[in-house]
Homo-oligomer: A and B are copies of this chain.
Amino acid sequence: MSERITIVGAGLVGSLLGTVLAKRGYSVRIFERRPDMRTSTGYAGRSINLAMSDRGLRALETAGLADDIRAIAIPMHGRMMHDKQGVQTYQPYGKEGQFINSVSRGDLNKVLMTAAERHGVEIIFNARCTDINVESASATFELPTGEVILSEADVLFGADGAFSAVRSNLQVRDRFNYSQHYIDHGYKELHIPADDAGGFRLEKNVLHIWPRRSFMMIGLPNPDGSFTLTLFFAHNGSPSFEELTTREAVMEFFNEQFPNAVPMMPTLLDDFFTNPESSLVTVRCSPWVFNGKVALIGDAAHAIVPFYGQGMNCGFEDCNVLIECLEHHHGNWDQTLETYARLRKPAGDAIADLALENFIEMRDKVADARFLWRKKIEAWIHEQYPAKLIPLYTMVTFSAHIPYNEALRIGREQDVLMEEIMSIPSVINDWTSDEARQAIRDIMESRADIAIASGSPS
């Protein structure tokens, strides 16, 4: 008999995890609290678009699903900043050919659920986890009918998201470290529909940002020609959601802050007062693994804010590393889970920090000339010395082999280096001059190549 795995949560990570484990011969059951989003109309999950990048794609390749996802994704090659006058400034994300992918969370989840079922995974919907047993890796679920299911298994995964029921059960155990921290900003989704011909009203293959220092709006393209906009804005204070209580106040605010977007947003006021004001939380905990047979994965282990576009990518990478550990330890679950937690906990902590910091970059720094100038110099140095300097964004987004914690560490060192370079008089004067380039080369030649610790078990 094959080993039995119970997964709590059929979201993105739970569905992908189910698929990769089923492909390796495990008998997998997933219990999902919500109804089946493929057949039900009342899908209540977060609808925010996701930015799929290399880490997520690599994990989907392991599952044999990368091409299915590419088919529903729209490449975004850089950021397009919109100032208050409607002037647009473009900043590429990386080198030619490097891009991230706009994909609908709902569509992605449906593809992953169907893939899991195709590989023999049983998904039980409308099943609320009410209890778990760390000693036996069993879990109890309640159905809307009142029926109670006891799922016994060899290994139990909590893949049930930021507000994980599995984690809540673990939280009351002795010596479980836990934190949930909300930032002062929330978000609200808004909408730019396709034009009358079904085309995009803004540049299609970019991520649009309206950076306004203390807040921002972003826009991601959808396959139907529309854009999903998200306003990230303080809950309280001035300016904040708290102040925008009337249609007049909302119109005035948008006309002042986003005048070039307003004419493309015919349903702005209805959207604003219909869509919820959601909050943004960072969750950290440890340990992630109990008794060699219960483990947390994805947002249940490390919920992060969305500003680096890495929440789903990190969760998918969790699955990939888990499978690597399983291979490395020849199917020994105790060792597998221990190595998984040892490798991934620092990675989860690092991307949580990076995501918080990137909010400042997106809403504030990208509107700053010096910041954009530094990014250009950094890109030039990376081109000349690819083994000595890799921009942080590139390490996080376009690498699938540099662990997040290594990216963070190396990024901090490169910060110091870049500030040194930016203070060279000839660079300040004209960084494209021969003198400036020679000064930069002198510094770079004396640096060693980057040494990167592995995020894999082997």
Contact = CB atoms under 8 A, between A and B. Distances in A.
Contacts of A181: 177, 179
A178 B175 contact: no
Contacts of A175: 182, 235, 279
Interface string A129-170: 000000000000000000000000000000000010000000
A176 interface: yes
Interface string A160-202: 0001000000011011111111100000000000000000000
Interface string A349-379: 0000000000000000000000000000000
A182 B171 CA distance: 12
A33 B179 CA distance: 26
Contact of A179 (B163, B178, B235): B178
Contacts of A182: 174-177
Contacts of A279: 174-175
Nearest to A281: B175
A141 B175 CA distance: 27
Nearest to A277: B174
Give the interface size bracket for A toward B.
10 to 19
A177 B177 contact: no
Interface string A39-59: 000000000000000000000
- State the number of copies, please: 2
A285 to B, nearest CB: 9
A419 to B, nearest CB: 25
A180 B182 CA distance: 15
Of A174, A175, A178, most buried by chain B (CB within 10 Å of CB) is A175
Nearest to A171: B180
Contacts of A179: 178-181
Nearest to A175: B182
B176 A178 contact: no
Nearest to A186: B175
A337 to B, nearest CB: 18
Contacts of A176: 180, 182
A235 B181 CA distance: 28
Contacts of A180: 171, 176-179
Contacts of A172: 163
A279 to B, nearest CB: 5
Contacts of A174: 182, 279
A315 to B, nearest CB: 22
A171 B179 CA distance: 11
A338 to B, nearest CB: 14
Interface in A251-291: 279
A131 to B, nearest CB: 16
A128 to B, nearest CB: 14
Nearest to A278: B174
A235 B171 CA distance: 19
A172 B168 CA distance: 10
A221 to B, nearest CB: 30
Contacts of A235: 175
Contacts of A178: 178-180
Closest 10 CB pairs of A and B: A179-B179, A175-B182, A177-B181, A178-B180, A175-B279, A174-B279, A177-B182, A177-B180, A178-B179, A175-B235
Interface of A: 163, 171-172, 174-182, 235, 279
18 contacts: A163-B172, A171-B180, A174-B182, A174-B279, A175-B182, A175-B235, A175-B279, A176-B180, A176-B182, A177-B180, A177-B181, A177-B182, A178-B178, A178-B179, A178-B180, A179-B179, A179-B180, A179-B181
